[in-house]
Structure 1
Amino acid sequence: MVSIVVLTAALALGIPGGFMLYEKDAAKSDPNPEHSWQVSGRTSARLVVNPCQKATLGRAGRTAAKTLIYTAVPDYSKSEQVILYSSRSAAKKAVRDLRAAVRACGSADYRYSYRPVRLGDEAVSVTGQAYQSKKPAIGGERAVVTRRANALIVYTVSGEWGKPAAADFKQQSKDTKRMLSKICRIADC
């Protein structure tokens, strides 16, 4: 009975202010017009890893979401996204749909791939990479998408990447581990 009360309270709270890892950075004033933060608490926000650019990818069953996106000119961005779903099965479906989108979308000039990662209940690292004449070109994105219970945790970095390498996911994995250590405060773990 106590766990139901705690779960209900956590779901009612959603994602509290100050919970995200980069929230303090996003709140700082930066006069440089080439740097900006976007912060959203909308449950309808796009999944920040979205190979097919579908507005509805991973949206079904969301009860709360918070998205932080940092952009710096010319071609660098990073994002943090935490999404709570109404159930574990809804969160599992979001990961399954993301894997399907990775397999289905992309082109000869920009390709996506994913690999399983040992984080949370299930996780994948997603690589988006520009190609020129079948060789990796400059430009791409690297993401770690992790599910723990009914929560989805996403960290991305986009920029002037070259050939994909395991080290490209170092910061995203580190951030994911930090978030996993506290996600059960708001998720149904």
Structure 2
Amino acid sequence: MLRKIIFAATLVAGTALAGMPPASAAAPAVPKGFLLHDREVAADQAKKDEPADAENVWWASAKAGERFAADPCAHSAVAAAQRKDPKVGQAGRTAARTAYFEVEGEIETIEQVILYSSERAARSALQQFRAGVQKCRQSEGWKNGSFNRSLARVSLGDEAWKSSARAYEDGRPVTGDDVVIARRANAVTVYLASASAKPAARSHTQQLAHTRQMLAKICQIAACAS
């Protein structure tokens, strides 16, 4: 009788353990070295024993809650950092990695990969950005100046958009950004570069190329169906 009780207890314990995830299962993450610009980040970090180049520096953040790289209502990364509403693309995040290139204290380039808890949450992030663009597409002009942001669909991944923001003074563009945002499964990628020239057909050439490179390998960390 005792033998039967021990066998039954062992069977129940084994069934319970079978339903548990493996102890080695890791939480979702964007690994260090996964970004296209992580090589530049690593090279700058390796210069610890050399005088820091304060004018040109690459650095990265692994914070899951890092601000969404593209701000629908700001004309530059600096202006975006000054805004107090970082809610775009925050809900449902599980991991993120962001690389920045800073020149003389101003952010010139941003690469960001974000993982969400589901494809639905990732879609929602892009919807929030698009809704923000619709709201702030063309702000009220100020004396001798104005701001606008464009938005156009791109055939990449499961969904992608390109956008240009510009602040104008006396009819001339003085600051802004060109950005490509894409989604594949539960992952979102953002490639942004500051810009001051009038938007043109080739404005997003580099961002589109980088987006294609990242989407080609994003399923290594994203929950792609196949």
TM above 0.5, yes or no, is yes
User: If the length of structure 2 is used for normalisation, what is the TM-score?
Assistant: 0.74
Q: Counterpart of 1:88 in structure 2: which amino acid?
A: E
Alignment partner of 1:175 is 2:210:
yes
Gaps of at least 5 residues in structure 2 are 1-20, 74-82
Instruction: Give the deviation of 1:15 after TM superposition.
Output: 0.9
Aligned pairs for 1:20-169 (under 5 A) are 20-29=35-44, 31-52=52-73, 53=83, 54-73=85-104, 77-105=108-136, 107=139, 108=141, 109-133=146-170, 135-159=171-195, 161-169=196-204
- SS of aligned partner of 1:174: helix
Do 1:139 and 1:158's aligned partners in 2 also have CA atoms closer than 8 Å? yes
| Stretches of 4+ aligned residues off by more than 4 angstroms | none
In our comparison, the structure showing a higher alpha carbon Rg is 2
Task: Name the Cα RMSD after superposition.
Answer: 2.0
User: If the length of structure 1 is used for normalisation, what is the TM-score?
Assistant: 0.88
Gaps of at least 5 residues in structure 1 are none
Q: Distance in 1 between matches of 2:106 and 2:186?
A: 33
- SS of aligned partner of 2:72: coil
Q: Distance in 1 between matches of 2:105 and 2:209?
A: 25
Q: Counterpart of 1:38 in structure 2: which amino acid?
A: W
Q: Counterpart of 1:118 in structure 2: which amino acid?
A: S
State the identity as a percent.
Answer: 39
Instruction: Give the deviation of 1:74 after TM superposition.
Output: 7.3
- Matched residue count: 180
Q: Counterpart of 2:203 in structure 1: which amino acid?
A: D
Q: Distance in 2 between matches of 1:21 and 1:119?
A: 17
Q: Distance in 2 between matches of 1:75 and 1:170?
A: 22
Instruction: Give the deviation of 1:138 after TM superposition.
Output: 2.5
Aligned to 2:219: 184
Q: Counterpart of 2:71 in structure 1: which amino acid?
A: N
- SS of aligned partner of 2:57: strand
Aligned to 2:14: none
Q: Deviations over 1:63-96 (max 9, x none)?
A: 0000111111376600100000000000000000
Q: Distance in 2 between matches of 1:74 and 1:36?
A: 9
